[in-house]
Structure 1
Amino acid sequence: MSRYLERKFRAVTSFQRRIGNPILTRLPQQTLLETTGRKSGLPRRTPIGGRRIGKEFWFVSEYGDKSQYVRNIQAHSRVRVRIKGRWHVGTAHPVPQDDARARLRTLPLLNSAVVRTVGTNLLTVRVDLLD
């Protein structure tokens, strides 16, 4: 990764960790992804933007397998997703063969614009919902 992209990654993730995520996780209608920490075993909640299509929930990670929640998914694929205030259990799958930029065009506009702007290694993730 270039020095510019590394600095961008550090700046964005630092902002998300310290300011953005603590505020967004408190909003009742914010979509959240809950993974299990691969080291701690504790629940980890991350605000995301995506869309439910039938029994699947689709979203795009802006940093691919460098994102902590993607690493957690790779270790423990069982997740929960809060959609419109309701929790759903599912199994998450990174989908590297999917065209993440094309996928963003099908997802909520504001979140997609942010992911495109700050992202450096886009990765589509599909959650197969069990309920």
Structure 2
Amino acid sequence: MPRLADLRFRAATALQRHVANPITRRLPFQTVLETVGRTSGLPRRTPLGGRRVGDSFWLVSEFGERSQYVRNIKADPRVRVRIRGRWHTGTAQLLPDDDPVARLRLLPRSNSAAVRMLGTDLLTVRVDLDG
């Protein structure tokens, strides 16, 4: 990974992990993805942006397979997503063949702008929601 991209990754993830995520995951209507920690087995909650379309929830990971929640999904694709204050169970699918830049145009603008600005290795994720 080029040095600038690595620096951007480290700065963004440190800010998210220690400042933004602890605050935003507590907001009642913030969208949150819950995965199972691949090492700890504990629930891991990550605030993020995306959009529900029918029985699927779509998002774009700004750091692709370097994102901790993506690594957790690879180990166990069963997830929960809190959308508008309500939890939904589902199965996450990583979609490396999907065009993440085109996908971002279909997702909420504020989150998409941040993902484009900070992201170094975009990856589309689809969560197929149960029932």
| TM-score of the pair, normalised by structure 2 | 0.99
Using the TM superposition, give the Cα deviation of residue 117 of structure 1 relative to its aligned residue in structure 2, in angstroms: 0.2
1:63 corresponds to 2:78: no
Note the residue ranges of structure 1 that are not aligned, 5 or more in a row: none
Q: Which residue is equivalent to 1:50?
A: 50
Using the TM superposition, give the Cα deviation of residue 71 of structure 1 relative to its aligned residue in structure 2, in angstroms: 0.3
Deviating runs (4+, > 3 A) in structure 1? none
Q: Which residue is equivalent to 2:115?
A: 115
Q: Which residue is equivalent to 1:32?
A: 32
SS of match in other structure, 2:41: coil
For this pair of structures, how many residues does the alignment match? 131
SS of match in other structure, 1:116: helix
SS of match in other structure, 1:11: helix
Q: What RMSD in Å do the two structures reach over aligned CA positions?
A: 0.4
Q: Which residue is equivalent to 2:19?
A: 19
The separation in 1 between residues aligned to 2:11 and 2:52, in whole angstroms, is 30
Q: Which residue is equivalent to 1:86?
A: 86
Using the TM superposition, give the Cα deviation of residue 97 of structure 1 relative to its aligned residue in structure 2, in angstroms: 0.4
Partner AA of 2:44 in structure 1: R
| TM-score of the pair, normalised by structure 1 | 0.99
Note the residue ranges of structure 2 that are not aligned, 5 or more in a row: none
SS of match in other structure, 1:91: strand
